[in-house]
Each structure stands twice: as structure tokens, then as C-alpha cells.
Amino acid sequence: MKYLVMILMGGGAAPAGAAAGQQASAWPTILMFGAIIVVMWLFMIRPQRKQQKELQEFRSGLKKGDKVVTVGGIYGEIVEVNDKTALIKVDGDVKLRVDKQGLVKDYSETAQQ
């Protein structure tokens, strides 16, 4: 266990001629934590921000006639769009007013394939 701590803190065991009271450098540990933070940012935070930005652009670009899906899984076609809400036609004459934050996907392109 002592050697593991020395490896993590100082990068290796002390040479045979070194004094026993010498302190190990903390730089390898600091660099390791820095590398972990960079990796977490690259693989977790950055992609989530990109996804949130795309979703915000989708919601701000909604227009009449777009086919959308709500968070609850309701498919519909947009009839009217306001600042915070949208009126979607679900089936026949059934219309629902939903918050724009509840719209997650445009399925008009995938339905045509």
C-alpha cells in the first residue's frame, strides 16, 4: 500500500541513496485529476450541451405544418405556434395546446422514408 501511494504521489519509489524524509511531488496527482476533468468534459458535458442547443434551435424554429412528438409520446401536427406554447392537431378535430418544452422531435422527415 505504501508503494502505491508513493507511485501515485511521486511517480515511483525513492532512490536508495535519497533521504527518507524527502517529500514526494504532488504534480502527478494534480495532472491526473486535470486529465480526468478534461476527459469528462469531452465525453459528457460537451455532447450534452450540443444536444441541448440543437433541441433549443428545433423548438425556436417550429412552424405551422411541422409534425412533432411530445415528451409523452403524442404525435401531432402543429396548427399554431406562440411564444411558449403550440397548438397541435392530434387526430381529426382533436387539438391540444402544449408547452414548447414538451416537444422533442420532428418526425416529418422520418415518416417520408
Q: What is the pLDDT of residues 13-61, one digit of tens each?
A: 455 555 555 677 889 889 999 999 999 999 999 999 999 999 999 999 9
CB 9 within 8 A of CB 29: yes
- On the question of pLDDT at 113 being above 50, the answer is no
**Claim: this prediction has a pTM higher than 0.85:** no
Rg value, the chain, Cα: 28
What is the predicted pLDDT for the residue at 49?
A: 94
Residue 75's pLDDT band, with cuts at 50, 70 and 90, is very high
Res 107: pLDDT = 79
Query: How far is C-alpha 20 from the chain's CA centre?
Result: 48
pLDDT of residue 57: 92
Q: Is the pLDDT of residue 6 over 80?
A: no
Rounded-to-integer distance, Cα 59 and Cα 1, Å: 55
Closest CA to 90 of 100, 76, 105: 76
**Mean predicted lDDT score pLDDT of the chain:** 83
| Alpha carbons 91 and 17: distance in angstroms, whole number | 84
Which of the four pLDDT bands, split at 50, 70 and 90, describes residue 74?
Answer: very high
Q: How many angstroms separate the CA atoms of 29 and 32, rounded?
A: 5
CA 71 to chain centre: 17
Minimum mean pLDDT range among 9-13, 27-31, 96-100, 103-107: 9-13
Confirm if 57 and 106 have CB atoms less than 8 A apart.
no
